[in-house]
């Protein structure tokens, strides 16, 4: 408010001074009023000069304050910009670390899949070689054969204390079989049945059931279907383990027509 008054005074008072000068010039030089007007004009001129100096000082102070405020805001903005740049670098570093970790994890997963494939292939090969060596060495019984399927059986180490007798059955096909229904009869009742390791190239998922028949504990019923082309083939045998609390051996092997 005061600055506005000073601004108007700096404009208006010189005008009054000019008018006063004109009036003084119109008076007689030797009149007493003429001298008073001159003294008044000088006083007013000095007051206007002081007012002008004061108004300029206040303007400079206000301008300096504005400049200081703007500089402070600029410094604040520069600080915020530096913080944002630092955060951006942190985010870029974090993204780079995540990318590197993702690449490392992908490489590790690929290597694990390769190692697992090698293990599975090695297990399948050793199992097939074990079946062949058992047959050649006479440890496996004479195979029982039905349509396109042979059954090899041999004693196996039991995994249950209450069923110390175990037999390992290996089903070998001479063609690709996508599904089959089999019954294997034993000379004594069974307590446990389990699937052995899947070997060979048959990687299709399968479903169905392999269980001890509820009505006759001496029979293992196998009803298996593949979600792909074949579950049983020449290079992909099926291994089933059975266990009992009495000595057991395969008595009969029956294949039923597919439903």
For the segment 204-231, what is each residue's pLDDT rounded down to a tens digit? 566 778 899 999 999 999 988 877 667 7
Mean pLDDT of the chain: 79
Helix (H, G, I), strand (E, B) or coil at 139: coil
Question: 15: which residues sit within 8 A by CB, 6+ positions away?
Answer: none
Helix (H) or strand (E) holding 152: strand 149-160
Helix (H, G, I), strand (E, B) or coil at 87: helix
CATH number of 140-256: 2.60.40
- For 67, other C-beta atoms within 10 Å of its C-beta total 10
pLDDT at 161: 93
User: Would the pTM count as exceeding 0.75?
Assistant: no
| Gap between the Cα atoms of 167 and 153, Å rounded | 7
Domain boundaries, the chain: 2-78, 140-256
């Amino acid at each position: 408010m005061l600055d506005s008054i000073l601004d108007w005074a700096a404009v208006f008072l010189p005008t009054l001074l000019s008018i006063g000068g004109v009036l003084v010039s119109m008076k007689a030089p030797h009149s007493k009023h003429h001298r008073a007007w001159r003294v008044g004009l000088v006083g007013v001129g000095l007051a206007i000069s002081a007012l002008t100096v004061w108004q300029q000082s206040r303007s400079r102070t206000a301008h300096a304050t504005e400049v200081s405020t703007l500089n402070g805001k600029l410094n604040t903005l520069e600080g915020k910009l530096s913080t944002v740049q630092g955060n951006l670098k942190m985010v870029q570093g974090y993204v780079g670390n995540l990318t590197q970790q993702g690449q490392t994890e992908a490489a590790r997963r690929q290597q694990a899949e390769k190692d697992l494939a090698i293990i599975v292939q090695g297990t399948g090969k050793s199992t097939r070689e074990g079946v062949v060596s058992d047959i050649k060495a006479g440890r496996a019984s004479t195979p029982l054969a039905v349509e396109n399927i042979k059954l090899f059986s041999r004693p196996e180490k039991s995994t249950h204390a209450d069923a110390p007798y175990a037999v390992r059955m290996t089903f070998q096909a001479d063609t690709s079989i996508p599904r089959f229904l089999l019954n294997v009869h034993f000379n004594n009742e069974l307590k446990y049945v389990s699937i052995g390791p899947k070997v060979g190239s048959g990687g299709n998922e399968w479903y169905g059931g392999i269980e001890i028949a509820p009505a006759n504990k001496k029979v293992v019923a196998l009803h298996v279907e593949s979600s792909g082309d074949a579950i049983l083939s020449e290079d992909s045998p099926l291994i089933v383990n059975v266990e009992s609390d009495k000595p057991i051996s395969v008595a009969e092997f029956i294949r039923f027509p597919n439903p």
